[in-house]
Amino acid sequence: MKAKAILQSGKLFAALGAASATTAHADDKQAPPREFAAKVHYCTTCHGVSGQGFRGFYPIPRLAGQQPDYMKNQLLAFTQKRRTNTIMFSVAHVLSPEMLSALSSHFNKLDPKPLGGGPARLASEGKTIFTQGVSATNVPACATCHGDTAAGNGEIPRLAGQLSDYVVAKLANWDKERGQIASQPDASALMEPIAHGLTPDQIKAVAAYVSTLE
């Protein structure tokens, strides 16, 4: 499968268009400053003081440096149940469009060191997968979409510095958590064949690699 071909397929652009249409008007209004500060404090209680991520009973992902469009789309996806997670559904469904935008640009600007804690010995194998893909199973290089430095772009997320256990859990459960409303296809469809094409060991390796990137 060719990543470029998927990227240019109408499906993705339809999905991306739909998502940005829902959030575009939000930038006009501002979130009230006190409410905003309290909300940030609330998010960082779980996601770590600088948005670097935290290991609770579940891995709580890094938000620092995340692409604002990706983040907005995920917060909407939790609310609409395109992406299933009960904790984040409760968090996201009360956010106003202005708050959603303000939070997404706030976390994008943070740049703490990666939290670490991934299995470092797997990182070099992971780097090969990230930069070259796995030709035997037609898995494209992750870098084609996520970028050489894994910084992401638009609705394609940053993976740099992401908690490795979080990445492993997401790739292993892709079908059960993402793109859950058939009538509302979204960008998650692009990742589905990729998540499927990786073995559990390959997933661990690529997750270990991206978790070290700054």
59-88 binders of other proteins (CB under 8 A): 60, 86-87
One character per residue 101-140, x = contact with ligand HEC (rule: CB under 6 A): --x-------------------------x---------xx
Binding of other proteins at residue 199 (CB under 8 A)?
no
Q: Hey, what amino acid is at 168?
A: V
Q: Work out how close the CB of 75 gets to ligand HEC at its nearest, in angstroms, rounded to a whole number.
A: 5
Q: What is the C-alpha R_g of the chain?
A: 17
Binding of ligand HEC at residue 26 (CB under 6 A)?
no
Binding of other proteins at residue 37 (CB under 8 A)?
no
Would you tell me which residues interact with other proteins (CB under 8 A)?
A: 38-39, 41-42, 45-46, 49, 54-58, 60, 86-87, 90-91, 93-94
